[in-house]
Amino acid sequence: MITKKTNHAAMILLILGLSTIVFPLYLTLVIAFKQPTEMTNSISGILSLPKVWSLDNFREAMRVTDFWNSLRNSLVITLAAVGLSIGIHSIMGYALGRNKADSKFYSFVYLFIVSGMFVPFAILMMPLAKQTAELGLANWFGVIILYVVFYMPMNILLYSGYLVNIPMALEEAAKVDGASTWTTYWKIIFPIMRPMHATVAVLTALAVWNDVMTPLVILAGSGQNTLPLAQLNFQTQFGTNYNLAFASYLLSLIPILIFYVICQKQILNGVVNGAVK
Amino acid sequence: MKNERKRTFLLITVPILALFVCFNTIPLIRGVIYSFTNFKGFGSYDWVGFRNYIDLFSDARVGKSYLFTFKLAIVSTIVTNVTALLLALALNSKIRAKSFFRGAYFLPNILGALVVGYIFNYFFTYILPALASMIGVESLKSSILSDPGSAWFGIMIVCAWQAIAMNTIIYISGLQTVPEDVYEAGGLDGATGWKQFKHLTFPLIIPFFSINMVLCVKNFLMVFDQIMALTKGGPAQSTESISYLIYNNGMSGGQFGFQSANAVVFFIVIVCVSVAQMKFSGKKEEQL
């Protein structure tokens, strides 16, 4: 057991297993670059490398799915939801975390919000579609508000859990200097919670970026799309032109792949922290 | 000074709580109210009392969707956890390029479920049958997604493919909490291989096992994107998950009131399953 030698059996299994992840991505890549005429019904016809690496499919897919607008919507919604989550959820986590031990009101509010984690979207979906329409929020702005509400239970749980490790003495020292609670929070507590901000940012960003149901229900008929929603809404326009469809799929995966390559470590840490805490 | 602190906390809490109530609690209550009406999603409606709930239990389509969703959730949870645990053990052993492998195996989790579903849809519809006819496996020559008996299996594969990535990472972080000297001590007593895993490793990572179970079951019970991308509930309504049925018939099928009742029951089911899981895993951890 205590051998320091490489575990060759595990290595071989891992390399073989990797094919289950690489294969679907390879498939997407080669189909996205090919022309429909290159797609024969045999395996080799589908899986061989394209004869020419042309970007025509991508240009066409961008045009058909209104790619840049969808990308912009997705980016705006994700960035706004992440930013607002960090600001609003952290201060709420602070207010509840600091008071729930000795105040019935705050401990009730805490439990009330955190138990929102059990509410499936399925039950909120139909009333929310009505409600956002009534309030004139059936647009990307409404979607952002909904995300801030949906991820509130989870994020408040994370923030107030993290707060336990931050000693009260820090705040008391600032108070002696005459700082208000509000300034103390933003100047002292908010910066200390940075590791938790990273976790919340990663979890919220991944969930929002890939979410289909909320925009599907809220943006229906508004003509606005997010990247995943565009794939769904333009599915019929791709028809049997799978090359075009796959070019579009690949385009929608590229932003998150880039994000993953750059922030892999933070993402892995964030996901583990979020789940384990 | 003390009052200033109290007032600030109240000024923070009340507006945020109001926001939460407005977009979570009120829609929830409205959903419950709609469930007692025959609302179609537009126009006027009447109160029907418990009518929707009574109809729910005799509705074959709803019953079928519950059976399908639970079958999918249970099988996917088992497949996901067994695979993820094996993978985590391999990824935690003495291997080269450890961080590369970990990064690569986590990749499926960051990709959007809908697009992943579309890619696998193509795989099941064209690649797998072509492969099958090449090597001569008769049973796989037509797409597994077009057969009511096997379509759920395709969905299970896609659900597991993404969930394994997540669970593996959590198991790895569990395995890292097991100190090396536990293995050394166990090794002296003859605990190696399967014995070591059963009596030493697994009991020590039970908290992580619980997290994975809760995550898996909850996510799989709410499955939606994969259904949308792979089968749209077909063939012959054999793969309609509860969420999909509520969306499909409630939003555009004129069953707003009826599906609200379905959603209320689904909500109660989710709460019961989650509470039961937490109680069960709480007990298990105490025993150690």
Closest by Cβ to B8, choosing from A146, A181, A246: A181
Which of A85-89, A138-142, B66-70, B189-193 comes out lowest in average pLDDT? B189-193
Conformational region of residue B213, where left means phi above 0, alpha means psi within -120 to 50, and beta covers everything else: alpha
d(CA A70, CA A66): 6
Are B5 and A181 an interchain contact pair (Cβ–Cβ within 8 Å)? yes
Instruction: Assess whether pLDDT exceeds 80 at residue A225.
Output: yes
ipTM over 0.85: yes
In degrees, rounded to 5, the angle at the alpha carbon of residue A114 between the alpha carbons of residues A113 and A115 is 90
A51-55, B192-196, B218-222, B280-284, range with greatest mean pLDDT: B218-222
Choosing among B10, B95, B271, which should be mutated to test the A contact, i.e. which has the most A CBs within 10 A? B95
- Going by pLDDT thresholds of 50, 70 and 90, the confidence category of residue B281 is confident
Mean predicted confidence (pLDDT) in A53-78: 90
A28-42, A73-87, B152-166: lowest mean pLDDT where? A28-42
pLDDT tens per residue across span B37-48: 988 888 888 888
Q: What does the pLDDT look like over A176-189, one tens digit per residue?
A: 888 888 888 998 89
Distance from chain centroid for Cα A139: 19
Q: Which residue of A has its CA nearest to B135?
A: A43
Instruction: Give me the residue from A18, A118, A146 closest to B271, CB to CB.
Output: A118
The tens digit of pLDDT for each residue in B199-212 reads 888 888 888 898 89
Interchain contact, B123 vs A24, CB within 8 Å:
yes
Q: What confidence score (pLDDT) does residue B286 get?
A: 52
Q: How confident is the model at residue A273 (pLDDT cuts 50, 70, 90)?
A: confident
Nearest C-alpha neighbor of A23 from the set B133, B137, B156, B119: B119
User: Which domains does chain A show, CATH number per domain?
Assistant: 8-54 (no CATH), 63-276 (1.10.3720.10)
Report the residue from B91, B119, B211 with minimal CB separation from A28.
B119
> Quick check: B134 pLDDT over 90?
no
Contact A126, B260 (CB under 8 A): yes
pLDDT at B271: 92
**What is the least distance, in Å, from the CA of B182 to any CA of chain A?**
11
The residue of chain A with its CA nearest to that of B247 is: A122
pLDDT at B288 over 60: no
- Structural domains of chain B sorted by starting position, each given as residue range(s) with its CATH number in brackets: 52-110+160-287 (1.10.3720.10)
Which residue in A11, A12, A14, A258 has the most chain B C-beta atoms within 10 A of its own C-beta, making it the best mutation to test that interface?
A: A14
Above pLDDT 90, what percent of chain A?
Answer: 53
What is the per-residue pLDDT for A208? 95
Is the peptide bond prior to B179 cis by the omega test (within 30 degrees of 0)? no
B63: pLDDT strictly greater than 90: yes
Query: What average pLDDT does the segment B211-218 reach?
Result: 89
Q: List, as one string, the DSSP characters of B244-275.
A: HHIIIIIISSS-HHHHHHHHHHHHHHHHHHHH
Residue A82 has which token pair?
Answer: 């992440």
Best B1, B11, B20 member to test A by mutation, with max A CBs in 10 Å, is: B20
Percent of chain A whose predicted confidence (pLDDT) is above 70: 97
Higher pLDDT, B71 or B184: B71
- Mean of the pLDDT values across residues B268-283? 86
Q: What is the mean pLDDT of residues A210-231?
A: 89
Count of positions (residues) in chain A: 277
Task: Please provide the average confidence, as pLDDT, over all residues in chain B.
Answer: 89
Most confident of A145-154, B98-107, B249-258: A145-154
SS (H, E, C) chain A: CCCCCCCHHHHHHHHHHHHHHHHHHHHHHHHHHCCHHHCCCCHHHHHCCCCCCCCHHHHHHHHHHCHHHHHHHHHHHHHHHHHHHHHHHHHHHHHHHHHCCCCHHHHHHHHHHHHHHHCCHHHHHHHHHHHHHHCCCCCHHHHHHHHHHHCHHHHHHHHHHHHCCCCHHHHHHHHHCCCCHHHHHHHHHHHHCHHHHHHHHHHHHHHHHHCCHHHHHHCCCCCCCCHHHHHHHCHHHHCCCHHHHHHHHHHHHHHHHHHHHHHHHHHHHHHHHHHHC
CA–CA separation, A233 vs B108, rounded Å?
Answer: 23
Q: How far apart are the first and last CA of chain B?
A: 48
Residue B247 reports pLDDT greater than 90: yes
pLDDT above 90 coverage of chain B, percent: 53
Query: Is residue A190 pLDDT above 80, yes or no?
Result: yes
Inter-chain contact A127–B31, Cβ cutoff 8 Å? yes
Indicate if the pLDDT at residue B116 is higher than 90.
yes
pLDDT at res. A2: 46
Residue A234, min C-alpha distance to chain B (Å) = 12
Task: Please give the pLDDT value at position A1.
Answer: 44
Judged by CB atoms closer than 8 Å, whether chains meet at B87 and A17 is answered as yes
Q: How many CA atoms lie within 13 A of B208 on its CB side?
A: 24
> Are A5 and B271 inside 8 Å of each other by CB?
no
Q: Is B173 helix (H, G, I), strand (E, B) or coil?
A: helix
| A93-102, A218-227, B54-63: segment of lowest average pLDDT | A218-227
**Helix (H/G/I), strand (E/B), else coil: B47:** strand
